[in-house]
Structures are given as structure tokens and as C-alpha cells.
Chain A
């Protein structure tokens, strides 16, 4: 998540190794910047992921939260 509201970091298809490699690199870079990756499964459930799930339809990168 960023100040633009929504940035598309990478797109890939499993059949295209170059796009996967690019997406994995972008994914790691975002994790290094402090983002957490989440795959949302609808209401009430999401999975935190540490490696790019190649088969996931959408991976969202969120910022850390803190008590107010």
C-alpha cells in the first residue's frame, strides 16, 4: 500500500518464467522495504505469505500496524 492508493508492483503468469522471476524480485524488494504480503480469501480470512505464491490470483502488500 502506498500514497497513490494502489500500485501494481508486478504481474506474472506461471507459464512465463521471466515474469515470475521479475515478480519474485519485486516481491522480495517490497518485503525488504517493510511490507507484509497477504493473500485474502474473502471475509474473515487471509493468509500471510513470506514467499511469492505463484498460484495465487492476487497478493496484496500491506504496511505494519501498531496500537494507536
Chain B
């Protein structure tokens, strides 16, 4: 993180559109209506995966009880495929052991600046889970070093996005801060630039997350219910 500092607050000359959106000009800009449509499409896809396997399993069980192993395999597919999708979503914020190790001092400095950008509660939650909670107009965000989750108002649906700063040598907290500032500058642009990995029920994402991170999604869902 680099910054330029001045002693007195005041008005700024600004433009709020995220410049990175120009790099994905073919994508429709994400907004609340588009998120709803995307959510419905993901639900339909899940149903399309589950129903045929469950149906086949039930029919087999009725027609030929001796084919029980095939029935079980079919039901297992109906369970595993949605789980794999949810896992893909949870993976966007899963802590990774980077091949590039950042020195402790830069990491601490980056952590200090990130702490200055967020409030006490978000700072505590980040210390506990590695994710920063940020309330936006589209819902409540959880921002990690290489991805973000958006819990929609009501808390029942979560969208998962892969998004990153393409520089693996940056301190982890710095990468979170980069993403957080981009999110604050243009929330819809941020969601447009990011690659969506999953959308589905919050409970499905939560149980596929690393255990230490689950309190962050719980907190985000609670915050989203209040929106």
C-alpha cells in the first residue's frame, strides 16, 4: 500500500466507476436485479443436477431392488455434485499456503493500514477469520486475499467471487486492502470484474468453509438479515 497524506480533510474531485471494468467490457454490469437472475439460474442448475439422479435412484429402487448399488451411486451423485459446487464457492476465501512468503515486517505494516481502513468489529473479525466484513448496497461482503463472498439482504443466499490483485508478492493484508478499496469505490464494478464461482444457500457455503472462517459468514448473514 502506498499513500499520500495531508493534514486537513476536505472535498475531493472524484469519479466512482472502477477503471478495471473497461477490461471486461463484454460483461453486463452486475446490479441487484442481475444478482437475483444469477441466483435463480444457479438454483435451476442445482435442481437440474439433483432431480435426474434422485429420480433415477427412486425408479431403480422400485423397478429393480437388486440394483441397490446403482441406486446408491445415483443418490450419491445427487448429493456430491451440489457439494462440489458449494466447495468451489467456499474455496474463493480458503486460506492458501502461498509459494511466495512475505516477510513479517511488511505483513505487519499492511495489517496496520488495513486495520485503519475498517472499524473495530471488522478488525477483530479479520484477526479471527482472515476475512473483512463490509456492508454494501448489494448486501454484506466478506473480503479475503483472493476472493469475496456477498451475502444478500436477508442472509439466505451467498454469491462467491474469485477476485485478486495480480501480484503474489504483496503482503496478504495488503491484497485484502486493495480489494476492499476497489469494492468501496464501485461495488457493482467490483462484482462485474470478479469471476463468479458459485451462488447458493448460505448454509451450503458455510459448511464447506474452513472452520476458523465460518464465524465470518455467520456474522455476515446476521448483518445481512438487518439490511
Q: Which A residues have a C-beta under 8 Å from some C-beta of B?
A: 1-14, 23, 26-27, 30, 35-36, 38-41, 43-68
Q: Decide yes or no whether B98 CB sits under 8 A from chain A.
A: no
**Are B2 and A1 touching (Cβ within 8 A)?**
yes
CB contacts under 8 Å to A, within B166-222, are 166-167, 169-171, 173-174, 177-179, 181-182, 184-186, 190, 193-195
Known: A7-B2, A8-B2, A46-B185. 11 other contacts (CB 8 A): A5-B1, A5-B107, A13-B8, A48-B14, A57-B10, A59-B3, A60-B1, A65-B163, A66-B193, A67-B193, A68-B146
Cα distance A27–B18 when bound, in Å? 18
Residues on B with beta carbons closer than 8 Å to the beta carbon of A67: 24, 161-164, 193-195
Q: Decide yes or no whether B12 CB sits under 8 A from chain A.
A: yes
The 4 closest A-B pairs by CB, nearest first: A55-B10, A68-B162, A5-B109, A46-B184
Total A-B contacts with CB atoms under 8 angstroms apart: 204
Cα distance A57–B164 when bound, in Å? 27
Query: Would A12 and B110 be within 8 Å (CB), given that A1-B170, A40-B184, A53-B11 are in contact?
Result: no
Q: Which B residues have a C-beta under 8 Å from some C-beta of A?
A: 1-20, 23-24, 92, 102, 105-113, 117-119, 122, 134-137, 146-147, 161-167, 169-171, 173-174, 177-179, 181-182, 184-186, 190, 193-195
> Which of B8, B167, B171 has a CB less than 8 Å from the CB of A14?
B8
